[in-house]
């Protein structure tokens, strides 16, 4: 970077900081960590390289716990002499506040090389975005790494401690390792006690009212934000969030519901209200109920929130919002989560939690339309799981002390979606097939350098009304010429339209060709313009350069068959074990890590064959595919003609994964599927049927580590083939307790004259099956299973329960789950792998094996094939002759078991 930016930001006549000059230490490379109290307290981490201090701002400070991945934002280079700077930067200067030295010393590469050699290695690591080094400080010792986050424009890195003799397992706080009498702590204490006078400003007055129950609300004032970060003409642009893949827990963050509606800014001046979208499009005429409700507040403020329409179950429904004018029977709400201005005073530079306190007081009166959007602190993972169970769009994670930056997209606000989504431009539609009306699929594009690029097409996600409405919108836009610069190949003839409509698409990933994999239509985005939907804004994977050709072109165009028998070494063992026993002809595809597996006339393309799914064990996606190929003839009878709920873990077991039910529409022609009407979504869901080996491999390629079939087949969807009791332990139950419970279930079934069959779940529980042979409905089997569970719980009241709610039952009770016996419920199939440590398999066991000493870890990808081959008929009775429920109940009644029921 050099020191030009450092010098430009500072006036050295007004700040005591050293002027920007290069320098270097005589023997060892220096490092320093400075604790800096500016507008917010943070830590500055600086390493000497090339005569300057390469610098990162670390909000939480370094940690000695390898489990902590501390965000480190790279800032401008600082001069060498800055390593010794401590003092006060006067108000009005860049970085105004107080600086103290928290730790300092010297550092080297991991090999402790001589200085010139070490510096050369370190510079190479910095350039590569993977800087590994060893620190010799008073507090920070041992190995660390700075890792640059890929594709991030904000120079975001992660500072991580390596596992070595200086690493700690307990939580680590830089603040707790700061002396109480440090200069900053003394200054803060003096300021708090009033010994340092604080200039009273309007900002401070508002800040002090966050805990004041008599907060005054006045009328009047200027219409737009005063002293905003940029000059505003007609409207305020909302602050935007970046996206992150996984939820997290952090005591310095708060978490909110990610509402499924239209983002809106409400500029309220008494009874004058302007309600508009993020791009300044007015909502006043579209949602007059919201506007009138805002007028009734009779306040002067600028609010940020989301307009949503709520279903009867309390879930936001975007489609209802889009058609609210034609169907206003549902409840419309404005869920407000931030306040930008109150009484003409800017609140943007207050911490988020203080803004929300003010907002809650501002909206203290209960209202049917205007709602305060609540939040929780710290527990992001649990909140995300609650959102998943409620089928919400996702959650928002926000730093508790974050300021509000109008129009900016920052990493201080993060959105964690349950599904990947993107905006796309509708460029045309294909002809419908079968009984479908209006159109078959939408042809999708995205702007790239002024040209419309094809990214795929989708026919999924439409209700009958949705097809009709979309057809009405597209008809006036029909044109003869394709809007694409390239020639687009589709399966059916295309009608092109003017590319002005924008929609939101759910998808699984971007392919290397720049196509959406498994796109599903979610909604139209009337708040977005087509020119805003471009690669630069959405940042999908980089598209390959057209015409580029690798040096291995000949190899790629003429691949040679190879034998695929991958070996995997079991952890802790020196012996290698094969994950499967068959040799499958495989061809290398365009990417050297892609494969084509041939099954007769069917060819299955497999991507990222060597991608690691189990980091600790080194087990890959290819090993998963090979395992299922080896056991396919044993597992397929339990999958045939059963709708599959795809549990996908495309990034391996460390990924939360997701369920994907409506998957048949995008599958190859040779994959069978069955549309089944879903009452919850009010549309057909196209379920895949896994009837053969190629389909099983196709599912594995999608990231299906485990296989989850329905309990019934398409021939009798309402009549399952078996009944299930799922023995589901909590965190503090032992597996011996699970075994004891299973044996009691077995005994109670015997009392009813029923033979039951047991398998491990592959995780922490056991599954007990009883054949039903399509004789009874789900409800009949569910009721019988419930009765059995009641009888079992009576015998084991100390550690079993019928309470489904996790919080109510606590972490010491085994849940006897009879609710698995419902239409559409799925459970991991027999012989299925599970995305758990050790690559465990759901395995049938003999009842004489269900005794103390049995462990789910007994059956894994390494040894399961041999066991299955030795016990091929162990589980087959589950698909055999079914029970007679009437006889079972009579037998229980005869024994006096049902006397109380």
List pLDDT tens digits, range 120-167.
999 999 998 899 999 998 899 999 999 988 754 557 889 999 988 888
| Res 574: pLDDT | 31
Give the C-alpha distances (Å, rounded to integers) separating 326 from 319, 329, 489, 886: 12, 9, 37, 52
Q: Label residue 834 left, alpha or beta by phi (over 0 means left) and psi (-120 to 50 means alpha).
A: beta
E-assigned strand segments in 149-247: 156-161, 240-243
Instruction: In whole angstroms, give the CA distance from residue 640 to residue 825.
Output: 16
CA angle (389, 394, 400) in 5-degree steps? 115
Residues in the chain with pLDDT values less than 70: 1, 151-154, 190-234, 311-315, 317-320, 322-330, 434-435, 491, 508, 512, 536-592, 679-682, 896-901
Q: Are strands 814-817 and 800-801 parallel, antiparallel or unpaired?
A: parallel
Contacts of 668 (CB under 8 A, 6+ apart): 698
pLDDT of residue 536: 61
pLDDT at residue 202, rounded to an integer: 35
Backbone angles phi, psi at 92, to 5 degrees: 100, -15
SS percent in the chain: helix, strand, coil, step 5: 25, 30, 45
Question: Could you give the angle at which helices 778-795 and 885-894 cross, rounded to 10 degrees?
Answer: 30
Q: How far apart are CA 212 and CA 815, in angstroms?
A: 47
The DSSP letter of residue 236 is: P
The reported pLDDT for the residue numbered 828 is: 95
Separation between Cα atoms, residue 774 and residue 767, nearest integer Å: 19
437 conformational bin, left if phi > 0, alpha if psi -120 to 50, beta if neither = beta
CA distance linking residue 647 with residue 703, whole number of Å: 8
Task: Report the residue count for the chain.
Answer: 901
The residues pairing with 336 across neighbouring beta strands, listed in sequence order, are 305, 372
Residue 279: what pLDDT? 79
Q: What pLDDT does 319 receive?
A: 60
What pLDDT was estimated at residue 227?
28
3-class SS of residue 322: helix
């Amino acid at each position: 970077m050099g020191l030009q930016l450092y010098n430009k930001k500072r006036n050295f006549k007004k700040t005591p900081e050293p002027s920007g000059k290069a320098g270097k230490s005589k023997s060892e490379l220096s490092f320093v960590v400075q604790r800096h109290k500016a507008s917010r307290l943070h830590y500055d981490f600086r390493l000497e390289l090339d005569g300057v201090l390469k610098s990162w701002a670390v909000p939480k400070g370094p940690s000695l716990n390898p489990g902590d991945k501390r965000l480190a934002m790279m800032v401008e280079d600082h001069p060498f002499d800055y390593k010794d700077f401590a003092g006060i930067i006067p108000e009005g200067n860049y970085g105004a506040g107080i600086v103290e030295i928290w730790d300092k010393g010297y550092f080297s590469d991991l090999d402790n090389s001589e200085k010139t050699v070490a510096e050369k290695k370190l510079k190479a690591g910095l350039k590569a975005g993977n800087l590994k080094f060893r620190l010799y400080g008073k507090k920070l010792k041992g190995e660390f790494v700075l890792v640059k986050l890929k594709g991030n424009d904000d120079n975001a890195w992660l500072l991580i401690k390596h596992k070595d003799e200086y690493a700690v397992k307990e939580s680590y706080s830089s603040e707790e390792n700061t002396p109480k009498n440090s200069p900053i702590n003394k200054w803060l204490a003096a300021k708090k006690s009033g010994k340092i006078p604080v200039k009273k400003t309007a900002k401070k007055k508002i800040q002090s009212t966050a805990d004041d129950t008599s907060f005054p609300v006045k009328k009047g004032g200027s219409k737009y934000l005063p002293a905003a970060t940029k000059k505003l003409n007609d409207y305020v642009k909302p602050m935007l969030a970046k996206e992150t893949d996984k939820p997290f827990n952090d005591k310095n963050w708060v978490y909110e519901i990610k509402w499924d509606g239209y983002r809106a800014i409400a500029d309220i001046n008494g009874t004058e209200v302007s309600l508009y979208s993020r791009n300044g499009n007015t909502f006043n005429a579209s949602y007059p109920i919201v506007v009138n409700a805002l007028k009734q507040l009779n306040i002067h403020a600028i609010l940020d929130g989301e307009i949503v329409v709520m279903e009867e179950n309390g879930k936001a429904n975007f489609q209802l919002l889009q058609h609210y004018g034609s169907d206003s029977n549902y409840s419309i709400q404005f869920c407000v989560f931030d306040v930008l201005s109150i009484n003409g005073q800017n609140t943007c530079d207050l911490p988020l939690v203080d803004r929300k306190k003010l907002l809650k007081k501002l909206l203290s009166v209960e209202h049917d339309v205007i709602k305060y959007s609540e939040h929780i602190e710290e527990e992001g993972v649990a909140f995300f799981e609650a959102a998943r169970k409620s089928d919400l769009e996702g959650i928002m994670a926000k730093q508790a002390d974050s300021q509000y930056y109008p129009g900016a997209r920052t990493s201080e606000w993060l959105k964690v979606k349950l599904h990947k989504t993107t905006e796309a431009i509708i460029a045309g539609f294909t002809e419908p097939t079968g009984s479908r009306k209006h159109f078959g699929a939408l042809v999708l594009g995205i702007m790239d350098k002024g040209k419309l690029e094809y990214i795929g097409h989708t026919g999924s996600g439409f209700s009958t009304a949705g097809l009709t409405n979309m057809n009405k919108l597209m008809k006036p836009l029909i044109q003869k010429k394709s809007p694409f610069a390239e020639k687009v190949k589709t399966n059916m003839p295309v009608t092109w339209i003017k590319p002005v409509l924008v929609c939101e698409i759910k998808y699984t990933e971007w392919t290397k060709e720049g196509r959406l994999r498994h796109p599903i239509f979610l909604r139209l985005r009337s708040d977005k313009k087509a020119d805003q939907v471009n690669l630069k804004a959405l940042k999908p994977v980089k598209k390959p350069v057209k015409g580029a050709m690798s040096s291995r072109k000949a190899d790629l165009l003429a691949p040679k068959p190879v034998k695929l028998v991958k070996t995997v070494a079991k952890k802790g063992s020196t012996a290698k074990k094969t994950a499967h026993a068959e040799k499958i002809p495989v061809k290398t595809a365009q990417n050297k890590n892609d494969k084509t597996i041939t099954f007769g006339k069917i060819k299955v393309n497999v991507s990222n064959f060597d991608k690691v799914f189990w980091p600790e064990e080194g087990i890959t996606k290819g090993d998963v595919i090979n395992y299922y190929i080896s056991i396919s003839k044993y597992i397929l009878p339990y999958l045939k003609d059963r709708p599959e709920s795809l549990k996908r873990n495309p990034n391996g077991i460390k990924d939360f994964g997701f369920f994907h039910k409506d998957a048949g529409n995008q599958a190859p022609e040779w994959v069978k599927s069955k549309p089944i009407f879903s009452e919850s979504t009010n549309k057909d869901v196209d379920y895949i049927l896994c009837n053969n080996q190629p389909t099983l491999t196709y599912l594995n390629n999608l990231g299906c580590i485990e296989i989850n079939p329905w309990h019934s087949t398409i021939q009798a969807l309402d009549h399952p083939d078996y009944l299930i009791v799922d023995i589901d332990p909590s965190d503090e139950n032992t597996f011996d307790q699970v075994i004891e419970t299973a044996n009691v279930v077995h005994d109670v079934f015997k009392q009813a004259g029923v033979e039951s069959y047991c398998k491990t779940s592959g995780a922490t529980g056991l599954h007990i099956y009883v054949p039903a042979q399509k004789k009874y409905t789900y409800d009949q089997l569910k009721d019988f299973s419930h009765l059995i569970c009641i009888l079992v719980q009576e015998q084991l009241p100390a550690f079993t329960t019928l309470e489904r709610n996790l919080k109510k039952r606590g972490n010491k009770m085994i849940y006897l789950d009879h609710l698995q016996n419902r239409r559409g419920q799925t459970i991991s199939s027999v012989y299925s792998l599970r995305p758990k440590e050790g690559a465990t398999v759901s395995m049938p066991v003999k009842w004489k094996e269900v005794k103390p000493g049995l462990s789910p870890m007994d059956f894994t990808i390494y040894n399961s094939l041999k066991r299955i081959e030795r016990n091929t008929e162990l589980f087959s009775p589950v698909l055999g002759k079914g029970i007679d429920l009437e006889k079972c109940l009579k037998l229980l009644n005869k024994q006096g078991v049902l006397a109380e029921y």
